[in-house]
């Protein structure tokens, strides 16, 4: 009884494998290189420029503050020997306070830039996914793969089509 049960199971598994192979032959599979799409999408370039413009004044202010701090540090290094004790102490406190302010401002600046970058690129990622879905529907793809694909032939690579679609929806 046991050998016939094993044969029956083997037959079922074999037929499943054969039907799976036949089913897989009818699948239309597409591949998208997300990194390449993001690099080539005009929306990404527009987002970078938007962020640069948005944060340019704060960046300039940080640079000016750092230059001011450098001037104070140079003055202390140069004139410390001829300064009075009170004057030198006040200048040292000013330098410490300025460093603290610059550090805090730099951290806030980085956090704000990262938050806005994530916000903008999140929008772009949603546009990319929507473009992929549209192309997949129009061209009747059954499966579209993204990251983790080691090799894909040109026949299944949808990357250029996605880039073109994004350029049209600029």
**How many domains would you assign to the chain?**
1
Whole-number Cα distances in Å, 10 to 19, 23, 160: 14, 20, 44
Give the span between the Cα atoms of 117 and 134, in whole angstroms. Answer: 26
Give the span between the Cα atoms of 58 and 109, in whole angstroms. Answer: 8
pTM comes to 0.69
**Number of CB atoms found within 10 A of residue 87's CB:** 12
- Arithmetic mean of pLDDT over the chain: 86
User: Cα–Cα–Cα angle for 114, 128, 45, nearest 5°?
Assistant: 50
pLDDT in the model for residue 3: 53
**CATH number of the domain that residue 109 is part of:** 3.30.910.20
Domain that holds residue 128: 2-168
Identify the weakest region by mean pLDDT among 26-40, 60-74, 99-113, 141-155. 141-155
């Amino acid at each position: 009884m046991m050998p016939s049960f094993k044969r029956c199971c083997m037959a079922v598994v074999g037929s499943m494998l054969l039907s799976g192979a036949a089913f897989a032959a009818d699948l239309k599979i597409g591949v998208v290189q997300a990194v390449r799409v993001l690099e080539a999408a005009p929306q990404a370039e527009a987002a970078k420029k938007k962020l640069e413009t948005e944060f340019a004044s704060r960046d300039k202010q940080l640079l000016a503050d750092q230059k001011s701090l450098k001037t104070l540090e140079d003055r202390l290094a140069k004139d410390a020997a001829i300064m009075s004790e009170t004057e030198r102490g006040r200048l040292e406190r000013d330098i410490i306070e300025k460093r603290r302010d610059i550090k805090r401002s730099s951290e806030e600046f980085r956090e704000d830039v990262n938050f806005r970058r994530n916000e903008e690129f999140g929008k772009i990622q949603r546009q990319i996914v929507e473009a992929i879905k549209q192309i997949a529907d129009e061209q009747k793809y059954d499966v579209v793969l993204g990251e983790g694909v080691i090799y894909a032939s040109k026949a299944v690579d949808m990357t250029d089509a996605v880039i073109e679609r994004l350029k049209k929806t600029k």
